[in-house]
Amino acid sequence: MPDVSEPLTALAEEIRVAAWELAVEVVDEGLREDAVPSLQRLGQVGQVGDMPTFIVELSKELAEPQPGRMRRGGPLAGLVRDHAREREALGFAPREIVTELLVLRRVLWRFVSSRAPGLTGSEVLEAERRLNDSLDQLVAECVVAYFDRATAELADQARRDPLTELLNHAAFGVGVEEELGRARRYERGLTLVYVDVDAFKSINDELGHPEGDRVLRRVAALLTESLRGSDLAGRLGGDEFAVCLIESDLETGGRFLARLHDLVDEEAASGRLPEGFALSAGLASYPHDAVSSDALFRLADERLYEAKRAKTSG
């Protein structure tokens, strides 16, 4: 095959220089065909997004194909995933994201065809092959990115309590087991906190189940607000919640509960929680109190009910 490197390098440079104009053409053509959502509210820069960067990276692939660019983690593969996330956030459906890439293929091919008189037949064919191979892989990467994200979202939904969006009982148990393993390996502490709404049945009976659900969602939000990003929170069922404080001890657990009780008092005082609303809690710490997850769960549960009994007997 004749050496086509020099003519294609020159063609790639023309594409690089024209990247902005080509990106605008992609957007305009997509809008004319009603193939993509209108983004006029964003102005031209917002409509074009990272398309010029895409085109510049494609020009590099045209000039000098490198498989690493297209592999996961490579510049083009990473760029298409970022592009897909950006477009999805702007309201593009997955089909429209792929359609935009197909419009890009047409626009680039028209550009190459307009330069065809200065290229040999073999150079035109090689340019077509390189661009098509790159764009085919980009479309495939875009589809994979969407399904990876959709699968991850579905997996996360399966781990969540539908009412509060905290971890469900099973997922919380798995998370505690994993964190306990890390605590053993790195010789760190861990604290398990059980939390229960006092007199929750009365809230449901007197204020109604919708209000009871709202209260549970508010408690979940307060728990999340009180935690660090690395900690875990779950709803075990009914009005029972649990928290796993990573790299902590009983003193850390005590500070967490003090923050939580202060937040609850503020919420009740402002009317966002029912008057007189209160929580009870029980703590158990690794390795001070127990070394297995079962023992930690059991001890935290026992201490929770000791706290509830102390309130009723007092």
Alpha-carbon dihedral sign for residues 212, 213, 214, 215: positive
CA-based nearest residue to 222, from 205, 235, 208, 211: 235
Structural contact between residues 279 and 197, judged by C-beta atoms closer than 8 angstroms: yes
Phi, psi of 104 (to 5 degrees): -60, -40
Identify the burial level of 197 via C-beta atoms within 10 angstroms of its C-beta, where 0-12 means exposed, 13-18 middle and 19 or more buried. Answer: buried
Residues sharing a CB contact under 8 Å with residue 57, sequence separation 6 or more, in sequence order: 69, 75, 76, 79
- Would residue 239 show up in a list of annotated catalytic residues for this protein? yes
CA distance from start to end of the chain = 93
Among candidate residues 161, 196, 231, 239, the one labeled active-site is 239
Phi, psi of 87 (to 5 degrees): -65, -40
For 39, the token pair is 């983004």
- Token pair, residue 261, equals 């009780």
Classify 280 as helix, strand or coil.
strand
Beta strands in the chain (DSSP E): 190-197, 232-237, 240-246, 279-286
What are the residue numbers of the active site?
239
